[in-house]
Each structure stands twice: as structure tokens, then as C-alpha cells.
């Protein structure tokens, strides 16, 4: 069963699987919170690709259970009852599950039930890296985390700090806003551009050869699939916006050159290098919560050689980069995504939109995602 | 036209009519308010099985009209205009209906209209008993009220007091929470259990013979159809909840034995005997308002020999049983019902749920209701 | 694609196109605001027949663009950027459109794009008359405004003043409330009736000949299509409302005779002559915003010979006719329309309603509108 009307899917031949993936791609790793947000023995509830989940930390290690009792379908998180360290007991009829494998190991209200040991609640692998909590929302053995993170994110010396929030738009509108080469127009008056002395054009006139506008990566050794936007390299940055030949708006002619290396990766994570400063990189995920919302999981990375550098970076992050870049700059991206919601709400936007040359990068992403995703999440996964 | 997708109904063969009855069963008596809530000549509006209704008291007797003008469909209750004792006039174009039979007896804006005497607004029989107002939401002659009330409720010496409120769940989730033998687990920390010194196990391990777990009543002399839960009699009460053999929670070892006689009756009313005290009984209805809400109509009955006993019971009810039982104890049932809503919202919960031994009582109710209901309310009844 | 279920359309044979027109009739002029509400170079956003629009005043003249960028479908009004007097630039990727013809004349982010000059945003004709702004929500050349306004509205000496507000009902329920001969019953206790000494019956008993009840105008020289309600002329006004022969309510026996000349015109505008005073007329539009809301665009006209008369009328309008007539009297019409919403919400009301003699006027309007409308707005017009 497709998520989207077949008549629409037929009209977007080049990337129908992507248009169908309103609930996200299954069988990928997604960051959902920061490590410091989850304490020992204090389960947190969240939603990912439409599924309610519970995450717990036991002896330091993280576990993830589907937050829906097998018996009558209630969320365990309505009233958490963990009576032993390694189990959770449903508050309703006391079906008790092991965090490790989801096995129904006991039922307090009926210790002789034949269901004990026979039923199993869905579990998902969890992994921590760079202070972030990743869940593998999929089936079977998970791939290495590296496959679903951009190059450099897991580098040994890379110090990662960030911010996470829920945004009311489909996750794809967020990806496309982030990777969109000409959306920089909305940032033209950003405080970051002025205060950090950035050079920022209004847009790009692409060169003649369409193929040179992007570079697709589908042979990465760790299995990553992504697209590089090469328009900065092969096109002409536009610093003067004209109407009828008259200049009506100029870009920013600052000293610092940033964002000349931009790439998007499955399952939906952007890398901007360097950014927001020449010695930093931005990695940001657009994580599907359900078809109408996503986590905007923003991180900034900076290579640090020792504890002192890390400490300085932390201070700088809080006082400068978080307010100026993650908020001052990226908050414009948030309302831009939300402004697209109505047009794509009935899925007809995918047919009625009119793209232009610079959208070649977005088209390349749609095709890559359609070809290399590991599965399309459906309503049947959610309710099944 | 079924209310529920046919594919789902096919997968719940044993009780498809019940699954289809999200709007309730037609042709049954339902309590909707207490007698003291409706005064002479002051009509009240309410919704029952999806239909808007108006109830009025005239010379002491109650009448019920569909609250929807035949002409342009507005609710008469938007602006009640009763210009004579026995009629109600629509505020819009003054079509005037008799409370007794619903006949369109006059039209003030056009006294010569050919519609006068030819049209008839739907009326429903109303009856008062034990201080409660019952409406027969059905067609044709109603059966005696006794058919749709549990044994003892109408007993001569039975004094009934209660409480009514609107709850946001489908009525069946309320029935199943109430009759569910192992849901008592949610009451383990209730103030009633402690303060009234009740014995309350955590649950029940049923005995070997499935048939002994319930007793179906379908040959009652007044036509009642119901199911008794016999698990207290034929099963083993569980007072020690264990995980991996270790006791992690105990039940309540109070002195007072209650609730050893529990039964559920069409069209959806529970009897718990005795409760909440050895000399009392609880009768509670889960009355369909629409597919998302129900009246939780709770009553407590106590046999009283004379006025003094009745007066004492009234005082005790207000000061003790209402706050401690109807609220302190049953409020836990309310959020438990609401916690099931999401899972059953798209009707797939009826297929995806996984039952266990003790749910035999619920299954028996579903089968009985499927077989013996007097009609399934549909959207066509509501808008037709 | 019909807007309404075919099974329903088949059952209302006489006026199926009207029942299908829940989004309004396309290719007609509609008033949407007053001239004084829109200033030079300050675009206003609004919705009409489901479409988001932007109106701007340039060198005094008004222009109207669809408020949805051709590129990624966002509303231009989210952040208006007019960088030259005659254009508007999308805030997202700087596609720039001419107000006059909607042509995509420049793209600031990519001045070499092949889309420039090739794409065209939908524009709609705008016209001002009598201090009101009219939009022709249609395709091709518009007819003269006179075709879609009632007789006398455009008269040279007619001074028009009014009020506009958004009401939560479908536009047709508003038309039918306004033109409905027997709805005057709801105004029986209006402050206007008492304070302005009006004669107002409770309703009308129509005469014998059905054809004499209305007069259809379909041969007007300017192309107007409308229906006159002749029941005041050929029927009997009812001043005494009776139930069982007994008088239970009387109409108003004031001195001033008003409203003896009532007519309704495509695309949905009522003329009441004279009203609310013997020397005035009321013209009021019910303008479809979307299927659930309409503008209630009320105007009162009074012939004025010179500036002094106009000035006096303006003062009288503010101090007397607006509070007493447009509010004191017509506010009752607003809640009456809203009271019909539920019954017609699923379109079944058009089948289940039961009309009576006096509704002949409404039936004549439905037939006229079905036959003479210039097009039915559909969801495809909105999203296409
Ligand atoms: S719903 Fe969880 S144990 Fe019954
Ligand atoms: S809607 Fe009730 S009389 Fe017309
Ligand atoms: S959405 Fe308007 S220019 Fe892109």
C-alpha cells in the first residue's frame, strides 16, 4: 500500500519512491536526542517515523522499545513502571517486557499465562556517538553508524555540539530547504552574515553543463549515499540582483568564505563545510517524526586537539554560535519550510511545482534517495 | 452500509457486529441524566448514539424529540421557543411540533401550509426509574426497562445515587475496561482500597477449564442478556506479582471481600456486587454519545428499608462513597480507557490486539453483544 | 471532478450544479474589501473561492495576483518584497512577477534562468465602484461590473456605505437565509423593528398560484440574472401566529413599510428595497471564501443629491444604521446561517431537507443559479 495516491506517483516518474516516503525511510539510523538528555533508569518517550518509542539507559547503555503494549495497545509511557532494572511492566495488566530483547518475560496479573515467553515487543538498536543518541529504525542487523552519517562527523577529533527541536513540516521540505542552492536568498539580512563578516551571494547562475552541477556519491566505502552541490564551483555566484536590468539588491561582500562544500546524505542529513566559520562544519538532520513534523537536529563540529580546545569551543558555542548561527541564521529556514506546507499537503505540490536550473541539486537528491533508500516507512509499519 | 471497513470486519469473525457498533446498539434503553436535572418546561439538549435530542418535562412526564427541525435541519435548542405547554416552535420559520408525538401541528409563519399535520419529527420513549432518566433510542414499541438494566437495579428497596460525566473514548473501550478481570491491577494504589480496608489481588490465574471462566445469561425471564465473570470462583487470585521469580509487588490484604459477583449486560452496563462496601452494589453504564465519547453513568445502590436509612445513605454517599469510590477509585478507569483510544482509533486495534487467558470474559461479552444486540446504529440513522 | 458525491447530485435533479458549487461560481465579480482599506504600495492578502490572492494599489489602480509562487508554491504574502513599484519578488528564491500581467520577468538568484519570460502567475481583473473593491474571479475577459451587481447599486446618485466580516458558514446558507421569505420570523424582536417603527409580519401565506410567487429576470439588458420575491404582493402577510387556533405571537404593526421589493442576483447578492428606512436600500453580498466561510459584505445605499447630503448620510450611517440595522438587525441572520452548518456539512442536508410553500423563492434562486452561473469553482482551480 502506497502512502500517496497512485495517480500522483505516476506523474513524478523520476522520484516516485521519494514522493511516497512521507513517513521517512526505514532501516536507517536517526539521531533523536543528545546523550545528556537521558539519565540512568529514566525512560524517555518520543516518536520516530510515526512510531511511538521508549528509550532507557541501563548501566549506561541505551535500549529502545516500541512504546505500545502488545496486549491492548496502550503506551507504556502513560505511567512508567520499571519494577526491575532490566524490565518494564505495563501499567494496565502488568505485561512485563525485557528492555534488551522485548521478550514478554512475565505477567504480574497472571503468572501462568501461555503468552509469557511467546510474545516479543519490537526493539530497535540504539547507539551513542559524539554525544548524540541514534536509533536504527529498521529491521534486522543494523549497518555501521558511519553509513548514515556524513563524512567527518565521526572523526576522532571532531567535537560536536548542537540543538534539537520539533518543526511543523514534513521532513522532505526541510531537506530541500537546506540543500537548496538558491535558498540562501532568505538569509541575506541574517545577523550571522553581518556580524561574522561572511561573503554571501544572493544566488547562483549555473554553468552550461548540467552534469557538472552536482556530484553523486554512491560508492563510498562505508556505504554512504549522498550528493554534493557543485554550483559554487561550476556556476557564477550572483552578488547583484536585478529587475529590468536595474540593481535592486546586493549580496554580502564579507571577508570570510564559507559553505563552499555542501552535501546531502541519506537518510536526510546536510553537511555544510565550512560553516558558520572557516574552522567549523555544520551537520544537520531532518528526522521524520510523522508526516507533518520533524526533528530539526542541528549540530556544529569543530576539530579539537585537547580538552582546553574543547572547553573553549563549548563556551564559544553557547555564547556565539548557537544564538548567531543555529538560531539567528537557521530560524529563517524554519519559517521557510513551514511556508511550503500547504502547497505539498495534499501531495499535489510534487506535480504542480515548477523547478528551475538551480534545483538540479534537489532533483539529484530526490533521485538518489529514490534509488538508494533502504525501505519506505508505511502506515502498516506504524499500526502493525 | 457498515461503519467499519469490511476488510477489518472479516478478520474479527467472532464479533464483527460488535466491532461495527462504534455508534452503539439501537433499540435499547439508555440512562442519560438524573431526574433532578430536568425541571418542568425547561428542555435539555443531549446527544445519544450520534443523534441530537431534546428532553422536556410536561406536567411531570418526560418527552424526547429529535433536536433537528425537519425543515432546514437546525437544532431547535439553539433558541428554545415553547409557546404552549405541549409544543415547541422552531426559532427559524416557526414550524411547531407536539412533544407527545412529534407531529408538525402548526407553522406560525404560514398557517395554511400543506405540510401541517403531514410531517412528523422523530420522538423517542422516555422513562424514569430510580431517579434516572432513560431514553429508548430505537424504533417501534420499547421493551420493559428491566430488559436493559442489570438484576437488582430496579428492586423495590434499592436506593440509587450516582454521578454522570462525559468521557473521551468510544463506549466499548469503557465497557471492556470495566468488565476486564485483570484491570484491577491499575487500582492497586487506590485510596478506596486502603481507606476501606479491601482485599484486592493484582490479578487472576484462570483455572484449566475455559468454559468455567464465564457464565452467559441469555434466557433471563425479562429478556436480559449478560455475562458473569467467574474467574474469582474458578481461578486463583494473584496477590504476589513476580518478575523472574522475585516478588516485586503485592496486592492488598484487607479484611473486606468485595466484587466477587461481576457481570456485564446489554446494551453496556456493569454490575459489581458487592461494591464498594459489602452492603452495596455498583451499576455503571457506558452510554454512546458518538463514536469518540460516552457518558460514564455511575450509580451505587444500597437496599434501604425506610426513609431514615435512605437519608443516612444519601449523606454517606456524598461524604464518602462518591469521593472515595466513584472518583477516587474509578478515575483511574477513565484515563485507562482514554489510553486505549489511539490504538483502536482506525479500527485496526481490533485486529492487532493480542489477548490472553483472562480476556476470556471480554471475548464472551463481545460474542454475546454481537449475537443479542437489537440493532447497530449507523450514520444513516444519524443523518436520515 | 464534482465537488460533491455524485449520488447526492443525482437526487437533487432540479439544482445539482448549485449543490455542487460549494466553492462558489467562477467567472463572476465579487466585492472583497472597501477602497479605503487598501493603500498605495501596501499589498493585502485575502482568500476568494478557495484561492489565496494578493491585491496591490499602484499609481492608484488596483491589481490582483494569485498569492502562490509558481516555483515551490509558497505564499508571496508570507514576506512581501516589492523591490520596484510594478513587481513583487518572492522572498524565497526571488522569482519576480509583474503586477500587471503576472509575467515572471526576473529571478534575482539566477538572472540567466530560461524560466524568465516563460512563466506567468495568474492575475485577476480588479475594479473599484461605489467605494468597493471587486475582483473578477475568472478566466478571459470580464463582463461589465453591472452584470454582477443588482439594479440601482451603480446609480450615479447612489451613495454606498457598508461593513465586511468573515462568517463561518458556506456562502449558500447565507444567500438562502437572506432571500428566505419566512426567515423574518427571527427578526421579530429586533431593536431595528421597534426603534424604527417598522411594520413586520411573522411570515407569509402564499396565494394559490405558485408561478406568481417569484419573478425570474434572465433577460436584463446588462446580463443580470436574478429572482424577485413577490410573496408580499401575491400572498397574505401573517401578523398573528397561532397554535391550535390560539394566537401565541404577533408581528410588528409599525408605521413604516419596508422590504416590499426583495431580489437575489448572481453570483449571490441580495437587494432589499426599501431598507432599513423608506429612503434607503440594502445590497448585501455573500462572497465564498472557501467551503466553510464567506464574507458577509453588507452595504446600504441612499440617493444623495450633493456633498452635504452625502456628509449627513455618512454621519447617520455610523451613528444609526450601522449599529441598528447592519448589526442590530442582521446579527440574527449570522447565527441563523451558522445554525444550518451541521445539517448541510456532509452535503446530505440538500437531500434530507423538507421545504414548504414559501421556499418557492429559494427554489427559484437555486434553479436560476444552476442554469445561469458562469462556471463552478472546483478544487482543481484552487490547487492547479
Ligand atoms: S495493555 Fe498492557 S498489559 Fe494490558
Ligand atoms: S428550520 Fe425550523 S422552521 Fe425552518
Ligand atoms: S518559492 Fe518563490 S521563488 Fe522559490
Which helix (H) or strand (E) element contains residue B339?
helix B331-345
Mutate to test the interface with C, among B75, B104, B109 (most CBs of C within 10 A): B109
Name all residues whose Cβ lies below 6 A of ligand 3: C 69, 71-72, 74, 90, 92-95
Q: Give the number of domains in chain C.
A: 2
**Nearest listed ligand to the Cα of residue A110:** 1
A105/A163 same-domain check = no
Q: Report the C-alpha gap between A269 and A283 in whole angstroms.
A: 7
Residues 355-384 of C with CB under 8 A from A: 383-384
CB contact under 8 A, C110 and A185: no
Indicate the top mutation candidate among B69, B96, B108 to test ligand 2's pocket, ranked by most ligand atoms within 8 A of CB: B69
Assess whether B269 and B338 both reside in one domain: yes
DSSP A303-357: E-SSHHHHHHHHHHIIIIIIIIIIIIITHHHHHHHHHHHHHHTTSTHHHH----G
- Res B13: pLDDT: 86
Can you give the C-alpha Rg of chain C in angstroms?
Answer: 23
Q: Are residues C163 and C43 in the same domain?
A: no
* Per-residue confidence (pLDDT) for residue A97, from 0 to 100: 98
Atom of ligand 3 nearest to the CA of C107: 3
Q: Which of B93, B125, B157 is the last residue of a domain?
A: B125
CB contact under 8 A, B185 and A72: no
Q: What is the pLDDT along chain B (384 residues), one digit of tens a residue?
A: 799 999 999 999 899 999 999 999 999 999 999 999 999 999 999 999 999 999 999 999 999 999 999 999 999 999 999 999 999 999 999 999 999 999 999 999 999 999 999 999 999 999 999 999 999 999 999 999 999 999 999 999 999 999 999 999 999 999 999 999 999 999 999 999 999 999 999 999 998 788 889 999 999 999 999 999 999 889 999 999 999 999 999 999 999 999 989 999 999 999 999 999 999 999 999 999 999 999 999 999 999 999 999 999 999 999 999 999 999 999 999 999 999 999 999 999 999 999 999 999 999 999 999 999 999 999 999 998
Domain-terminating residue out of C64, C92, C125: C125
Domain membership flag for residue A214: yes
> Same domain, yes or no, for A230 and A364?
yes
Question: What distance in Å separates residue C19's CA from the closest CA in chain A?
Answer: 24
Asked whether residue C323 falls in the same domain as residue C183, the answer is yes
Q: Residue B22 domain-assigned? A: no
Does residue C132 lie in a domain region? no
pLDDT tens readout for residues B11-47: 998 999 999 999 999 999 999 999 999 999 999 999 9
Q: Are residues A187 and A318 in the same domain?
A: yes
| End-of-domain residue from the set C86, C101, C125 | C125
Ligand 1 contact, A71 CB (< 6 A)? yes
Ligand 1, residues A52, A92, A102: which to mutate, most atoms within 8 A of Cβ? A92
Neighbours of A374 (CB within 10 A): 17
| Residue B175 sits at the chain A interface (C-beta within 8 Å) | no
Termini Cα distance of chain B: 13
Handedness of CA C227, C232, C236, C239 (dihedral sign): positive
Asked if A67 and A202 sit in the same domain, the reply is no
In this prediction the pTM is 0.96
Any CB–CB contact under 8 A between C78 and chain A?
yes
- A89 and A145 share a domain? no
User: Is A90 touching ligand 1 by the criterion CB < 6 Å?
Assistant: yes
Residue A17 inside a domain? The answer is no
Q: Cβ-count burial of C198 within 10 angstroms (0-12 exposed, 13-18 middle, 19+ buried)?
A: buried
CATH number at residue B252: 3.90.380.10
Q: What is the CATH number of the domain that holds B93?
A: 2.20.25.10
In a domain, C21, yes or no: no
Among C158, C132, C162, smallest CA distance to C318 is for C162
Is the same domain home to A177 and A282?
A: yes
Which residue ranges of chain C lie beneath pLDDT 70?
none
Cβ <8 Å between C203 and B93: yes
Strand partners, A229: A214, A262
Q: Are A119 and A152 part of one and the same domain? A: no
For B293-312, write each residue's pLDDT tens digit.
999 999 999 999 999 999 99
Is C156 within the bounds of a domain? Answer: yes
User: Is residue B32 a part of any domain in this protein?
Assistant: yes
| Same-domain pairing of C212 and C68 | no
- Which residue segment(s) compose the domain that A374 sits in? 140-381
Burial class (CB within 10 angstroms; exposed 0-12, middle 13-18, buried 19+) of A315:
exposed
- Same structural domain, B97 and B64: yes
Whether residue B275 lies inside any domain: the answer is yes
Band (pLDDT 50/70/90 cuts) for residue A208 is confident
Query: Quick one: CA dihedral A332, A337, A340, A342, positive or negative?
Result: negative
**C-beta atoms surrounding A326 within 10 Å:** 23
Amino acid at each position: 500500500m502506497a502512502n500517496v495516491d497512485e495517480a500522483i506517483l505516476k506523474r513524478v516518474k523520476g522520484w516516485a519512491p521519494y514522493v511516497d516516503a512521507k513517513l521517512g525511510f526505514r532501516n536507517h539510523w536517526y539521531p533523536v536526542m543528545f546523550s545528556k538528555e537521558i539519565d540512568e533508569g529514566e525512560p524517555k518517550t518520543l516518536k520516530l517515523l510515526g512510531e511511538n518509542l521508549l528509550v532507557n539507559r541501563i548501566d549506561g547503555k541505551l535500549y529502545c522499545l516500541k512504546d505500545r503494549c502488545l496486549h491492548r495497545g496502550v503506551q507504556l509511557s502513560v505511567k512508567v513502571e520499571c519494577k526491575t532494572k532490566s524490565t518494564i511492566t505495563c501499567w494496565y495488566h502488568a505485561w512485563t517486557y525485557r528492555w534488551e530483547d522485548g521478550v514478554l518475560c512475565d505477567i504480574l496479573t497472571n503468572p501462568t499465562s501461555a503468552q509469557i515467553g511467546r510474545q516479543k515487543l519490537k526493539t530497535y538498536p540504539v547507539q551513542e556517538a559524539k554525544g548524540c543518541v541514534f536509533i536504527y529504525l529498521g529491521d534486522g542487523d543494523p549497518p555501521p553508524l558511519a553509513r548514515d552519517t556524513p563524512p567527518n562527523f565521526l572523526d576522532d577529533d571532531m567535537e560536536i555540539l548542537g540543538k534539537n527541536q520539533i518543526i511543523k513540516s514534513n521532513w522532505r521540505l526541510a531537506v530541500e530547504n537546506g540543500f537548496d542552492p538558491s535558498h540562501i536568498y532568505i538569509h541575506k539580512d541574517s545577523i550571522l552574515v553581518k556580524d561574522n563578516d561572511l561573503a554571501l551571494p544572493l544566488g547562483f547562475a549555473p554553468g552550461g553543463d548540467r552534469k557538472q552541477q552536482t556530484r553523486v556519491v554512491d560508492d563510498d566505502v562505508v556505504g554512504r549515499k549522498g550528493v554534493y552541490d557543485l554550483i559554487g564551483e561550476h556556476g557564477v555566484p550572483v552578488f547583484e540582483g536585478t529587475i529590468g536590468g536595474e540593481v535592486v539588491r546586493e549580496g554580502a561582500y564579507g571577508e570570510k568564505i564559507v559553505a563552499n562544500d555542501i552535501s546531502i546524505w541519506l537518510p536526510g542529513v546536510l553537511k555544510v563545510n565550512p560553516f558558520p566559520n572557516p574552522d567549523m562544519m555544520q551537520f544537520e538532520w531532518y528526522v521524520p517524526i510523522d508526516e507533518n513534523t520533524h526533528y530539526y537536529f542541528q549540530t556544529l563540529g569543530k576539530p579539537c586537539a585537547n580538552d582546553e580546545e574543547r572547553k573553549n569551543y563549548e563556551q564559544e558555542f553557547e555564547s556565539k554560535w548557537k544564538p548567531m548561527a543555529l538560531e539567528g541564521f537557521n530560524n529563517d529556514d524554519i519559517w521557510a519550510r513551514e511556508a511550503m506546507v500547504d502547497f505539498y499537503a495534499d501531495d499535489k505540490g510534487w506535480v504542480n511545482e515548477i523547478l528551475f536550473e538551480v534545483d538540479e541539486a534537489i532533483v539529484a537528491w530526490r533521485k538518489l534517495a529514490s534509488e538508494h533508500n533502504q525501505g519506505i516507512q508505511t502506515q502498516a509499519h506504524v499500526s502493525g
